[in-house]
Amino acid sequence: MKLRIFLVTAILIPLACTAAFSQGKPSTNIPHLEKHGTATQLIVDGKPFLVLGAELNNSSASSMEYLRPLWPKIAATNLNTVLATVSWELMEPEEGRFDFSLVDGLIQDARRYNLRLIVLWFGSWKNGKSTYQPVWVKTNQQRFPLVQDEKGKGLPTLSTLSDVNRDADARAFAALMKHIREVDGEAHTVIMMQVENEVGVLGPSRDHSAAANQAFAGPVPREFMDYLQKHKDSLIPELRKRWEAAGFKTSGSWEAVFGAGMETDELFMAWNYGRYVGRVAAAGKAEYPLPMFVNTWLRQGKDKPGEDIPGGYPSGGPLPQVLDAWRAGGPAIDILAPDVHVPNYADWCAWYTQSGNPLFIPESRGDARGVAHAIATAGKYDGIGYSPFGIDRLANPEGELGKGYQVLSQVAPLILEMQGMGKVTAVLVDQETPRSKVRLGDYTIEARFNQGRGPAPGSPAVGAADRVAGLFIQLGPDDYVIVGRSMGVYFESATDATQSVGLAVVDEGQYVDGRWIPGRRLNGDETPEWKALWFGGDRYTIQRIKLYRYR
C-alpha cells in the first residue's frame, strides 16, 4: 500500500508540477516577485531577499577551473549572489545537443559557498552584437538572418525580424530552464534570469533588412496600438508626447503614428526586441517560471557625442523612453533593468521606477561610490538589489564592496520589512550636493557630507569616499536606525517648527542574525553640537537612536 502511494505520488507530483510550469503559474515556493506595500520584492524560499550581488567578467564562467580559486574570495566579500554567464555557444554546440556541464558546475560551486546565482543568458545578443550564438548559427546567415544597414550591408547582429532566429534561441533557453528546474527546482540556488545582454542595433538607428523595411512601412501592430490606447494616461511622457504630436492616431504606419525620425526607428526596434526577447523569456518560463529581467546599455551623456543617439547606444534596448514598447511586446519580462555606468545614478533610478517597474541594477560600480548607490537602490527606490560588474577584480573582504555589503547584509532584513511601507529611505551626498534632506515619519532628516565632527567641508574624509549614502529606517514614532559614513546627520520636527529635536539615546552597534547588539552609548563629543549624529571612519556604521522634542 505504502509503495503504491509512493509510486502514485512519484508519478503525479512531477506531472502536476510540469503542468503548472507549462501554464507559467508560479508555485509559491519558486523564487518569485511579490508586492509588499508599494514595493515589489524578490521572494526566495518564502522570504524577501535583497540581492547583494556582483557580476563575473563575461568569460569567467566558461571554465570551472578558472573560477575555482575565485569562489572563496567572492564569498568573503559578503555578497549573497553571483551573476554568471551561460552562453548559447557552449550550451548547444551542435543543434539539438545540449551540454549543461557548465551550468551544473556553477550551481554546485555556488552552493558550496552558500551563494545564490542569477544566470545571464547570452543567447542571440550581447552588447548589441551577436557573438555568443553557436557556430552553426553564426555561419548560416541564409537561415539565421542578420540586421542590415541603410546600404543593405549585413551587421554581425541577428535580426529580430526573423521567427527562425527567435525560435532557435527560445528552444535553447527553454532547454536551459527545464534543466535548471530539474537540478535546482528544490534548492533554489538560481533565483533570477537575465535574458540576453544589452540588446539593440549599433550603428544605424534601425534594422534595414527587407523584412524590417516591410514591417516598418506596414501598420503599427494591433497589440501595440491597443496597449497605447489602454494605457494612454500612464504612458512614459516622451512616448505620449510623440504620439500626441502626430495626432493620437489609432492606426497607420510607424511614421504616420509617431512621426518620422530616429526616435521612431528606436521605438520600432524596441517593439521588435521586446517581442523577440519576450517570446524567449516566455518559452523559458513555460519550463520554470523564475523572475526574468533584461539589462540595458544606457544613452550616454552629451560629453560622449554620438553615443547619445539611437545607434550610438543600442537602438531598441529597454531604455526609459521606450519602456512601454517593451512592456507591450514582452509581458513575460518582469523587470527592465539599467546597467548604470554613467555618473547621474539617481536620475536613472528615477526613470527606471516609472510606471511600477521594479528596480534591479545588474551592472554598475563596485567602489565606495558603488556602495553608496547600492544603499540608495535598496533604501530610496525599494530596489530588489545591486550588482557591480567584474567581481573577479573586486573580490576582497576589506575592499569597499566587502565592507559595504557587510553592513548592508546586517540591515537587509529591516530594509526588506520596511520597503514599500514608507518607513525606509536614503539620501546621497557628495562634494557637489553636500546636504540632502528627507522626511521620514514626523522628522526631517538631513545628511551633511563630511560635516559634524569630521573633516571640514571640502576636505577628504578618512578613508575617502567621494559620494556616500545615509540610510534611514523608522522603527517607531521617535525611533530610527541610521546607517552612514563620512557624514553628520541632523534632525528637525516636520510637524511643529517651534519644537527643537534632541537626542534621547544614541547607541552604535550591530545586527547579528537580525538581533540588535548595542556597542558604545554615544554622547558628548561623539554627537556633534549635542544634537547630531556623526559617522566617521573608513566604513559604514550603524546607530540606533531615540529622539525627543523640547521648546
Binding footprint of ligand DGJ on the chain (CB under 6 A): 58, 127, 197-198, 339, 363, 389
Distance between CA atoms of 369 and 182, rounded to whole angstroms?
Answer: 40
Cβ-based nearer residue to ligand DGJ, 48 or 385: 385
Beta strand 116-126 pairing with 81-87: parallel
Cβ-based nearer residue to ligand DGJ, 198 or 446: 198
- Edge-to-edge order in the sheet of strand 487-493: 435-440, 443-449, 487-493, 533-535
In 288-329, alpha helices (H): 323-329
- Residue 64: how many CB atoms within 10 A of its CB? 16
Cβ-based nearer residue to ligand DGJ, 241 or 304: 304
Cβ-based nearer residue to ligand DGJ, 127 or 541: 127
For residue 197, the minimal CB distance to ligand DGJ (Å) is 5
Cβ-based nearer residue to ligand DGJ, 59 or 344: 59
- Edge-to-edge order in the sheet of strand 500-512: 424-430, 467-476, 479-484, 541-550, 500-512, 515-521
For residue 293, the minimal CB distance to ligand DGJ (Å) is 13
* Measured torsion, CA atoms of residues 35, 38, 39, 43, in degrees rounded to the nearest 10: -20
177, three cell numbers: 530552464
For residue 342, the minimal CB distance to ligand DGJ (Å) is 12
Cβ-based nearer residue to ligand DGJ, 67 or 542: 67
For residue 110, the minimal CB distance to ligand DGJ (Å) is 19
Element counts in the chain: helices (H) and strands (E):
17, 23
For residue 363, the minimal CB distance to ligand DGJ (Å) is 6
For residue 57, the minimal CB distance to ligand DGJ (Å) is 8
Which residue has the closest beta carbon to ligand DGJ? 198
252 residue type, one letter = G
Question: Are 396 and 65 spatial neighbours (Cβ–Cβ below 8 Å)?
Answer: no
For residue 156, the minimal CB distance to ligand DGJ (Å) is 16
128, three cell numbers: 548589441
159, three cell numbers: 535580426
For residue 118, the minimal CB distance to ligand DGJ (Å) is 13
Cβ-based nearer residue to ligand DGJ, 205 or 387: 387
Which stretches does DSSP call E strand in 185-281? 190-197
Contacts 24+ apart (CB under 8 A), 518-526: 518/544, 525/453, 526/453
- Ordered DSSP codes for 106-173: HHHHHHHTT-EEEEEEEEEEETTB--SS-HHHHT-TTTSPEEE-TTS-EEEEE-TT-HHHHHHHHHHH
For residue 329, the minimal CB distance to ligand DGJ (Å) is 21
Cβ-based nearer residue to ligand DGJ, 270 or 414: 270
For residue 491, the minimal CB distance to ligand DGJ (Å) is 40
- Report which of 196, 217, 219 is spatially closest to residue 206, judged by C-alpha positions: 217
Distance between CA atoms of 195 and 267, rounded to whole angstroms?
Answer: 20
Beta strand 116-126 pairing with 47-49: unpaired
Cβ-based nearer residue to ligand DGJ, 87 or 264: 87
Cβ-based nearer residue to ligand DGJ, 55 or 287: 55
